[in-house]
């Protein structure tokens, strides 16, 4: 088997993997934001017709996955494996979301970086000849996540300005051996990076060092500069995390301000939507990727993009026990098919 590794922690796929479809479904608040028009569906009912926030998230994820499969022109049985994750304890949103599909599943946990992990492992499976088609999907729900990490919604606690707002949304992509107009050509697997920060209401600051680490390593491994990418897209650093990321990379000699974009800053209008530092959650990067980033690459408006969703690796228990909040970020290099053919 020919080696596909490059540099210290990256993979250069010898056979690029096609992204055949991207689908997104979000909640009402996300539908009212700046990207409201690009999502495939906006659910007016935050319960998505169910009786609990967790069931709501499962339904959201299931519908998004089904939509991605349909948009790829495929049937469920043509998907060989699903790579799925969410934010909830024991990833139950995914387990109950996709069980009905009766497709083999690898459950993932990378906090809000999970879509990067799901696309990475999915691409490795397709490029390795282990599957003709795979589905990568993640989700989050404001109701289920607030309850999991902070307080019950009815408690109505105040939120500091550095806090982010968990996106109610799901994004799914079907990856395949050929077809489509965008492809995954490289990966940079993230390390766990811990600067010792402990504020779960400032996750941008906790995750920025991990984003810096992965982006820097991507530049090193592929021997690239920021301008080699049309966009460098983080997941949910928000305003605070974005500034820290810029500063950290500047210290290493890289100015990414022209190329950088953060899904958490795109999805809400912070001024009018009271979302403080921005959006977050597994569904943030995933829904913005599927509905906004991917189409730009498919159309060739952006020839090459580095997508780097970031995750904060905390739990209620680790927080209550006074542990720090380590971060992780997984990098996925996308190219428009035209670019790949050059």
Instruction: Give contact residues for its own copies (rule: CB under 8 A).
Output: 1-5, 9, 11, 14-15, 52, 54-55, 80-81, 85, 87-92, 95-96, 98-99, 102-111, 117, 120-121, 124-125, 127-132, 147-148, 177, 189-192, 194, 313-318, 321, 323, 326, 328
Which residue, 33 or 85, is less far from its own copies as judged by CB?
85
User: What is d(CA 237, CA 279) in angstroms, rounded to the nearest whole number?
Assistant: 8
Closest contact distance (angstroms) between CB of 124 and its own copies is 6
Q: Label residue 107 exposed, middle or buried (CB < 10 Å: 0-12, 13-18, 19+).
A: middle
* Those residues with Cβ within 8 angstroms of residue 295's Cβ, 6 or more apart along the chain or in another chain: 22, 38
For its own copies, the closer CB: 252 or 299: 252
- Residue closer to its own copies by CB (options 141, 296) is 141
Residue 323 beta carbon to its own copies: minimum distance, rounded to whole angstroms: 7
Rounded Cα distance between 79 and 85, Å, is: 17
Q: Give the nearer residue to its own copies in terms of CB position, either 130 or 151.
A: 130
* CB closer to its own copies out of 192 and 250: 192
Distance CA 167, CA 142 (A): 6
- β-strands 304-308, 231-234 pairing: parallel
| Sequence-ordered alpha helix ranges (H) in the chain | 28-31, 53-71, 92-98, 114-127, 142-149, 203-222, 238-251, 263-267, 270-273, 282-288, 294-298, 316-320, 337-341
What is the DSSP code string of 82-135? EEEEESSGGGHHHHHHHGGG---EEEE--GGGHHHHHHHHHHHHHHTTS-SEEE
Question: Whole-number minimum distance, CB 6 to its own copies, in Å?
Answer: 10
For the bound state, the minimum distance from the C-beta of residue 85 to its own copies, rounded and expressed in Å, comes to 7
Please, what is the minimum distance in Å from the beta carbon of residue 99 to its own copies?
4
To its own copies, the closest distance from the beta carbon of 2 in angstroms equals 5
Cβ-based nearer residue to its own copies, 87 or 237: 87
């Amino acid at each position: 088997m020919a080696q596909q590794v490059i540099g210290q922690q990256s993979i250069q796929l010898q056979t690029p993997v096609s992204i055949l479809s991207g689908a997104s479904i979000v909640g009402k608040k996300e539908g009212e934001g700046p990207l409201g028009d690009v999502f495939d569906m906006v659910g007016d009912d935050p319960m998505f017709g169910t009786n609990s926030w967790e069931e709501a998230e499962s339904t959201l994820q299931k519908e998004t996955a089904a939509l991605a499969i349909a948009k790829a022109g495929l049937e469920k049985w043509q998907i060989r494996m699903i790579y799925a994750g969410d934010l909830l304890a024991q990833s139950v949103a995914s387990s109950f979301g996709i069980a009905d599909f009766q497709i083999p599943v690898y459950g993932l946990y990378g906090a809000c970086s999970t879509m990067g992990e799901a696309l990475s492992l999915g691409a490795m499976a397709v490029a390795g000849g282990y599957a003709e088609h795979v589905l990568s999907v993640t989700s989050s729900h404001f109701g289920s996540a607030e309850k999991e990490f902070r307080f019950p919604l009815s408690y109505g606690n105040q939120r500091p300005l550095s806090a982010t707002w968990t996106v109610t949304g799901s994004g799914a992509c079907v990856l395949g051996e050929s077809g489509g107009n965008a492809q995954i050509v490289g990966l940079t697997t993230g390390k766990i990076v811990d600067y010792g920060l402990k504020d779960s209401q400032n996750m941008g600051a906790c995750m920025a060092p991990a984003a810096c680490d992965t982006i820097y390593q991507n530049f090193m491994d592929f021997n690239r500069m920021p301008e080699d990418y049309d966009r460098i897209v983080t997941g949910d650093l928000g305003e605070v995390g974005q500034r820290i990321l810029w500063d950290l990379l500047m210290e290493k000699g890289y100015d990414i301000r022209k190329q950088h974009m953060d899904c958490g800053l795109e999805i809400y209008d912070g001024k009018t939507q009271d979302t403080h530092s921005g959006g977050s959650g597994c569904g943030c990067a995933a829904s913005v990727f599927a509905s906004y980033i991917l189409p730009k690459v498919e159309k060739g408006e952006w020839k090459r993009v580095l997508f780097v969703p970031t995750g904060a690796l905390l739990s209620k228990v680790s927080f209550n026990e006074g542990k720090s909040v380590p971060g992780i970020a997984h990098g996925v290099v996308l190219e428009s098919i035209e670019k790949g053919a050059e």
